[in-house]
């Protein structure tokens, strides 16, 4: 049980570190979340909203820029990515205690931000 607590604490610290490494522009937009569990989850969800919009915009742009033979593969990859993100964050949500809700919301923020940035940067092309 002690090892599990140590792992959970490390995961929270790693998740929190994502905020430290955000771009300066993103740092201004993203405030630290504090308060009770519900407040923190609501804050993280609000921080995810603009990233979700960026993700959708970047995905539409990537579809436009893709060669015709790439478009269906991009659609399939995006559908699978959404399934993976949702399953991964649900895994965190099913953890023990109220920290699980925070972990799940943080997971959604981090993964959505990462995918938006990946699509905005041209999928490595």
Query: What per-residue confidence (pLDDT) applies to 32?
Result: 83
- Residues with pLDDT less than 50, the chain: 1-30
Q: What is the number of domains present in the chain?
A: 1
- Whichever domain contains 108, its CATH number is 1.20.1270.180
Query: What per-residue confidence (pLDDT) applies to 19?
Result: 41
Query: What per-residue confidence (pLDDT) applies to 31?
Result: 58
Query: What per-residue confidence (pLDDT) applies to 68?
Result: 92
Query: What per-residue confidence (pLDDT) applies to 27?
Result: 43
Q: What angle do CA 68, 113, 80 make, to 5 degrees?
A: 50
Query: What per-residue confidence (pLDDT) applies to 25?
Result: 46
Q: Which domain holds residue 40?
A: 2-124
Q: What angle do CA 113, 12, 35 make, to 5 degrees?
A: 90
The string of pLDDT tens digits covering residues 38-50 is: 999 999 999 999 9
């Amino acid at each position: 049980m002690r090892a599990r607590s140590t792992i959970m604490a490390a995961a929270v610290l790693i998740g929190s570190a994502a905020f430290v490494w955000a771009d300066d522009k993103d740092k201004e937009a993203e405030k630290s979340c504090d308060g009770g569990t519900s407040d923190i989850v609501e804050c993280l969800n609000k921080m995810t909203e603009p990233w979700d919009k960026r993700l959708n915009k970047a995905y539409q742009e990537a579809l436009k820029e893709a060669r015709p033979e790439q478009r269906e593969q991009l659609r399939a990859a995006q559908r699978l990515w959404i399934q993976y993100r949702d399953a991964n964050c649900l895994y965190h949500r099913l953890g023990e205690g109220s920290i699980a809700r925070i972990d799940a919301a943080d997971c959604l923020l981090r993964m959505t931000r990462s995918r938006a940035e990946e699509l905005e940067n041209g999928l490595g092309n």
